[in-house]
């Protein structure tokens, strides 16, 4: 069981780096994605392209990739009216929390992932949460993930390990990790095929990828990319 990992894979930059990280460490890797009727559903379309590009450019990793599981969580769109699910503006409230917050979203993701892993006999769950770049989402914090791991292991009477390789990395270090894991082949996949933009923009290509270059997610990605290039040279 310990050489098998299930990766929470959305098709974004962070989860693509996590997938590469898992492919470089484990022998058998499944992926899981969540379809919750989000406005940038385009991210879910990107994930298929990222997987096929990884398989094309990395034959060893291709041999380790197993099943891809898609969970229909359209109910989340009904529970939480946010900019992720509706075409409304991104705002930040007084506590610093963006209105893209779906309460407990990452907790839900891990419980569904664990239910799949339980039945597939996988021990490791890998997610791209980062406390360094957590944008105010409390369910990205290390303490939250540790607490959810404990609840999962008690509730399923098992011994899952939740691994978050990006927990203490900012976006610049995440770009660097991608380069270390898969070189320019991987960073090119990230630039060309992963999606980050809150507004779903896939028409403008920048050095750091597609996006509106204006929403908080684009700005974070752009700044991280530029910092990586600057500190790397």
In the complex with a second copy, the residue whose CB is nearer, 13 or 148, is: 148
116 binding a second copy? (CB under 8 A):
yes
Q: Which stretch binds a second copy (CB under 8 A): 41-49, 135-143, 182-190, 217-225?
A: 135-143
* 1 lies in the site for a second copy, by CB under 8 A: no
Task: Tell me the three state secondary structure of residue 54.
Answer: helix
Q: Which of 147, 184, 204, 219 binds a second copy (CB under 8 A)?
A: 147
Binding piece for a second copy, criterion CB under 8 A, among 2-10, 19-27, 41-49, 97-105: 97-105
How far apart are CB 17 and a second copy at their closest, in Å? Answer: 23
Give 104 or 216: the residue with its C-beta nearer to a second copy.
Answer: 104
Q: Does 103 participate in binding a second copy (rule CB under 8 A)?
A: yes
Distance between CA atoms of residues 7 and 116, nearest Å: 11
Helices (H), the chain: 13-23, 42-57, 59-64, 75-79, 105-120, 142-155, 171-193, 216-232
CB-CB contact of 85 with 77 (8 Å): yes
Smallest distance, a second copy to C-beta of residue 66, A: 17
HEC string of 77-100 equals: HHHCCCCCCCCCCCCECCCCCECC
């Amino acid at each position: 069981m310990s050489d098998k990992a299930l990766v929470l894979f959305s098709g974004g930059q962070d989860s693509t780096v996590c997938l590469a990280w898992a492919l470089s460490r484990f022998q058998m890797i499944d992926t899981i994605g969540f379809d919750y009727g989000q406005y940038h559903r385009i991210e879910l379309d990107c994930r298929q392209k990222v997987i096929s590009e990884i398989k094309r450019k990395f034959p060893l990793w291709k041999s380790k990739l197993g099943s891809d599981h898609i969970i229909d969580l359209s109910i989340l769109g009904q529970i939480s009216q946010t900019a992720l699910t509706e075409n409304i503006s991104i705002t930040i409230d007084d506590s610093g929390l963006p209105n893209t917050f779906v309460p407990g979203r990452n907790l839900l993701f891990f419980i569904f992932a664990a239910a799949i892993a339980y039945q597939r006999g996988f021990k490791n769950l890998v997610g791209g949460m980062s406390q360094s770049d957590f944008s105010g989402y409390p369910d990205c914090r290390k303490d939250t993930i540790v607490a959810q791991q404990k609840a999962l292991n008690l509730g399923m009477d098992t011994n899952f390990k939740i691994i978050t390789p990006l927990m203490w990395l900012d976006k610049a270090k995440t770009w660097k990790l991608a380069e270390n894991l898969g070189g320019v082949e991987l960073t090119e996949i990230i630039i060309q095929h992963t999606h980050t933009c809150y507004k779903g923009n896939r028409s403008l290509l920048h050095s750091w990828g597609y996006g509106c270059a204006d929403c908080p997610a684009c700005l974070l990605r752009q700044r991280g990319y530029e910092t990586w290039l600057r500190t790397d040279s």
